[in-house]
Amino acid sequence: MARIVMKFGGTSMAGMERIRNVAARVKHVVDQGNEVAVVVSAMAGETDRLVGFCKEASPLYDPAEYDVVVASGEQVTSGLLAMTLKAMGVNARSWLGWQLPIRTVEAHAKARIESFETEALISAMSSGQVAVIPGFQGMMESGRIATLGRGGSDTSAVAVAAAVKADRCDIYTDVDGVYTTDPRIVSRAKKLDMVTYEEMLELASVGSKVLQTRSVALAMKEGVRVQVLSSFDDPTQEELPGTLIVSEEEIEDSNMERQLITGIAVDKNEAKIIVTRVPDKPGAVASIFTPLAEASINVDMIIQNDSKDRGETDVTFTVPRTDLARSVDILEALKDSIAYNRIITDADVAKVSVVGVGMRSHAGVAATMFKTLADRGINIEAISTSEIKVSVLIDEDETELAVRVLHSAYGLDAEAAA
Ligand code: ASP
Ligand code: MG
């Protein structure tokens, strides 16, 4: 017997027919003798619809009432699922955020979970009752309802799994796992059997939008084993059909043969800024990045060259595309104090990253990347690295070519499809 948290996304909950499929899947896992808690999202499109009503009610809507409205989508699906389970003869009940309670910090629409009272939940689960929990919601110290930010049900599910010390948190979604890269770009992308938390964080935040990034960070912190799988494949098939997201130790122990590179991520949400002829003296780069930080603009890649005795240098960096105009405004207002020559911007760039814990102990990963891109005449505009990732900034038009050639170069291509 195991204790399993099952999470179903909006596509899986969209309409009664799908909710019945979800209930059948839950029943299957219960019938195998497991203790089960289920975390659900609102029906697909429902949260957007509710947000729309709030905006219509008042452009400057009250965030506390916004949470009251948008949390209702999950309340509907949790009740419907519990009802459907009971009709199938499965003992089940819903537990709303305030009934557990899941306590959050005081920050409407973007709350973080602070603590979780599990006594009642665990005793219900161990008596054989399935707990159905609406994702996305919690309760503030003040007693008011809070929501966790868009996509927050993934984080709710991981928090429930951590709190009840679940053996696994299965996240059912509309993709059947995590791939080596976006299968829409590379048709020979492969589904990964296992990926480490750290790799998943890199792959998720750079474009493989499978899970809310915060949920992966929480799973890593709490050591929750997560499986991503599809809610549309056969529930009675082999036990673990999806991708497991686990610690590096668990992967090492599994003796799986590992590739040096686990996956390739693409991010088209950044823009490049070059600030030319900045004085090469202490404090110069601080005078550029401090005001951006104060405006909460998240700078990612940064390059600055040696000035070679000229006394001035160019500073190149990237910011989120949505913050490009604001960044330029801020820097233009400070032209005299920073004392640069001019600002050049380019929004048509893409960041391509190769990710893999294997590169910690191997030399040559970056060299392979640069050579592969050079062979195709792809120019690299900026580079950044971490222990498990090498990223390059290239022209957006060359993204697909770059991803395809890198996918082959690191041996990630699946056997040709029949
Ligand atoms: N329903 C919420 C949203 O659409 C939370 C979730 O589904 O994860 O953002
Ligand atoms: Mg989701």
* For the CA of 211, the nearest ligand: 2
- The superfamily (CATH) of domain 3-253 is Acetylglutamate kinase-like (3.40.1160.10)
C-alpha to C-alpha distance for 328 and 318, rounded to whole angstroms: 12
**Which atom of ligand 1 is nearest to 74's Cα?**
1
The protein residue with its alpha carbon nearest to ligand 1, atom 5, reads 151
Distance CA 378, CA 395 (A): 8
The pLDDT value given to residue 226: 97
- Gap from CA of 162 to ligand 2 centroid (Å): 19
Q: Give residue 308's region: left, alpha or beta (phi > 0; psi -120 to 50).
A: left
What pLDDT score was predicted for residue 418?
A: 47
Q: Is the CB of 41 under 6 A from ligand 1?
A: yes
Distance CA(209)–CA(358), nearest Å, equals 23
φ, ψ for residue 357 (rounded to 5)?
A: -65, -20
Within the chain, which residues score under 70 in pLDDT? 205-208, 235-239, 416-418
CATH number of 264-409: 3.30.2130.10
Please work out whether the CB of residue 242 comes within 6 Å of at least one atom of ligand 1.
Answer: no
Between the CA of 152 and the centroid of ligand 1 the distance, in Å, is 6
Return the closest-CA partner of residue 359 out of 387, 385, 333, 400.
387
Mutate to test the pocket of ligand 1, among 13, 153, 171 (most ligand atoms within 8 A of CB): 153
Closest ligand, as measured to the CA of 149: 1
Evaluate: CB of 8 within 6 angstroms of ligand 1. no
Tell how far the Cα of 150 is from the centroid of ligand 1, in angstroms. 5
Ligand 1 binding pocket mutation candidate from 150, 155, 172 (most atoms within 8 A of CB): 150
Of 271, 381, 350, nearest to 318 by C-alpha is 271
Q: By C-alpha distance, which of 171, 234, 233, 161 is closest to 204?
A: 171
C-alpha 227/C-alpha 353 separation (Å) is 23
Query: Tokens for 395?
Result: 């022209």
The predicted structure's pLDDT at residue 414: 87
CA of 206 from ligand 1 middle (Å) equals 20
Q: Ligand 2 centre and the CA of 46: distance in Å?
A: 12
Ligand 1 atom with least separation from CA of 154: 8
Side-chain-facing half-sphere of 174: CA atoms under 13 Å? 10
- Say how far apart CA 402 and CA 185 lie, in whole Å: 10
Global pTM value: 0.89
Q: What spacing in Å lies between the alpha carbon of 168 and ligand 1's midpoint?
A: 21
Residue 47, ligand 1, Cβ within 6 A: yes
Cite the residue boundaries of each domain of the chain with CATH code 3.30.2130.10.
264-409
Q: Tens digits of per-residue pLDDT, 30-57?
A: 999 999 999 999 999 999 999 999 999 9
Comma-separated ranges of CATH 3.40.1160.10 domains in the chain: 3-253
Nearest CA to ligand 1 atom 8: 151
